[in-house]
């Protein structure tokens, strides 16, 4: 399912598959607590750990854990970056990043409030990194800044719903930015410019065609810079999926049903290139990215008899993916930085088409290709007023033009701008007037 003309990433060698056995990975792979009666830890535990998976960590327990990590370590900071519709805080945790040229990794945990396993994996990862003392992990954190949004949808978490307090799907809002949750995240991506972004989710299985322990996928949007796309696919196929397999879990490509007898693909039911989903938005904003989805359904009689068993399995699979992500970020930081820097600079060259549809495994139709695209878009004062804040959150710049503004494509957000302003784009913010007099 690679783009035409590209070489598919090969199954990694045994040496690559054992990356999770490095010192950094070993420090991160702290086992989940299996019984609440075990001896008390010197480091704080999540509510999930204390209950051995019988329940999820409460917001109050999360707040206490983050406060303890912040007090314990000078390499940890916790900031309030927004407020939900029901008044709950959106918190961003920063860990490490001691060097000016540190690589920045962003974890977005549980955008859907009824998918809590990713949040638990993020909370224990924050704790483990905050309290780590081994030299390998400290060296990793000195050259890597880890940003974590542990609860990306607090109102949905409280209600046990996929959407936020207004019933909106936050993961379908990364273009329109109607939700407080998506707006806060957009500001983080604009201001912190992370080079790598992981989006943690869960899914409901459809046995026997779609029932792996953990699925993963890279950005498929055709506007992704080629190097960012390839680095993202490499992250999934050479690091995350092999590490998940080595940890004892099954894995596949998100959205692809497979034949239970041959293992071959049958059809794709999800995982397209639509730009409003965070997995794709990350690449449009020049970050290497991936989506992970752990299986929420019970896998065995043991899990059906005791849901805590399944919950622990779900969190462990998410942890395996995070461990692989950190190995990738540490071992391939030069490749990552080269890809993201090229992506940010490419817009100023103002070359190549912009795609309003399609994906890396599905060609765009002729009506979905702007080739050449406009030089820019003119917005009336009224239209600009209605989209000004969203354009700013997307990092799009403009200049005065008569009674309105002119948005040139010759900027870093070149391949994003038509998706925001062209009336033919599916999720556009407003109708701009294309300027073709280049």
pLDDT tens digits along 371-414: 999 999 999 999 999 999 999 999 999 999 999 999 999 999 99
Supply the pTM of this predicted model. 0.92
Write down the domain spans for the chain.
14-342, 372-435
- Answer for the pair 176, 429: CB distance below 8 angstroms, yes or no: yes
The pLDDT tens digits of the residues spanning 328-377 come to 999 999 999 999 999 999 999 989 999 999 999 999 999 999 999 999 99
Give the span between the Cα atoms of 393 and 184, in whole angstroms: 9
- Tally helices (H) and strands (E) across the chain: 16, 16
Q: Is 423 exposed, middle or buried (0-12, 13-18, 19+ CB in 10 A)?
A: exposed
Q: At what angle do helices 117-131 and 59-72 cross, to 10 degrees?
A: 20
- Answer for the pair 379, 404: CB distance below 8 angstroms, yes or no: yes
Give the span between the Cα atoms of 382 and 403, in whole angstroms: 9
Fold of 14-342: Aminopeptidase (3.40.630)
pLDDT for 337: 98
| Other Cβ atoms closer than 10 A to 36 | 12
List, in sequence order, the alpha helices (H) in 22-85. 23-28, 47-50, 59-72
pLDDT for 98: 81
Strand partners, 405: 379, 400
- Answer for the pair 396, 411: CB distance below 8 angstroms, yes or no: yes
Question: Which is it for strands 214-217 and 144-149: parallel, antiparallel or unpaired?
Answer: unpaired
Is pLDDT above 90 for 94? yes
Residue 27 or residue 360, greater confidence: 360
Contacts of 409 by beta carbon, 8 Å cutoff, 6+ apart: 347, 350, 373, 374, 375, 376, 417, 418
């Amino acid at each position: 399912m690679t783009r035409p003309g590209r070489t598919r990433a090969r199954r990694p060698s045994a040496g690559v598959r054992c990356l999770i056995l490095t010192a950094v990975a070993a420090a991160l792979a702290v086992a989940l607590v299996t019984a609440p009666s075990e001896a008390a830890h010197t480091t704080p535990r999540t509510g999930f750990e204390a209950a051995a998976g019988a329940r999820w960590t409460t917001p109050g327990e999360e707040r206490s854990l983050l406060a303890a990590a912040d007090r314990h370590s000078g390499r940890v900071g916790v900031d309030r970056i927004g407020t939900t519709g029901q008044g709950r805080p959106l918190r961003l945790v920063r860990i490490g990043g001691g060097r000016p040229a540190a690589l920045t990794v962003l974890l977005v945990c549980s955008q859907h409030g009824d998918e809590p396993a990713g949040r638990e994996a993020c909370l224990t990862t924050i704790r483990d990194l905050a309290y780590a003392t081994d030299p390998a992990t400290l060296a990793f954190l000195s050259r890597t800044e880890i940003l974590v949004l542990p609860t990306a949808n607090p109102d949905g978490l409280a209600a046990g719903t996929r959407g936020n307090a207004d019933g909106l799907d936050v993961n379908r809002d990364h273009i329109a930015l109607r939700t407080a949750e998506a707006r806060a995240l957009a500001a983080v991506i604009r201001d912190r410019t992370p080079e790598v972004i992981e989006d943690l989710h869960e899914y409901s299985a459809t046995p026997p065609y779609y029932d792996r322990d953990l699925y993963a996928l890279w950005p498929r949007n055709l506007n992704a810079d080629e190097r960012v796309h390839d680095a993202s696919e490499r992250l999934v196929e050479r690091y995350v999926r092999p590490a998940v397999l080595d940890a004892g879990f099954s894995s596949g490509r998100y959205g692809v049903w497979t034949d239970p007898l041959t293992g071959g693909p049958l059809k794709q039911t999800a995982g397209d290139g639509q730009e409003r989903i965070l997995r794709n938005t990350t690449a449009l904003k020049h970050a290497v990215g991936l989506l992970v989805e752990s299986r929420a359904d019970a896998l065995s009689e043991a899990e059906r008899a005791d849901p805590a068993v399944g919950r622990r399995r779900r969190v462990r699979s998410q942890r395996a993916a995070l461990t692989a992500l950190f190995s990738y970020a540490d071992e391939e930081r030069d490749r990552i930085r080269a890809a993201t820097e090229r992506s940010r600079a490419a817009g100023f060259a103002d070359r190549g088409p912009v795609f309003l549809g399609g994906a890396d495994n599905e060609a765009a139709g002729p009506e979905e290709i702007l080739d050449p695209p406009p030089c820019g878009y003119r917005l009336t004062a009224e239209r600009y007023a209605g989209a000004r804040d969203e354009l700013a959150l997307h990092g799009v710049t403009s200049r005065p033009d008569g009674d309105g503004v002119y948005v040139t494509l010759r900027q870093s957000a070149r391949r994003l701008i038509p998706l925001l302003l062209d009336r033919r784009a599916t999720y556009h913010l407003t109708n701009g007037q294309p300027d073709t007099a280049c």
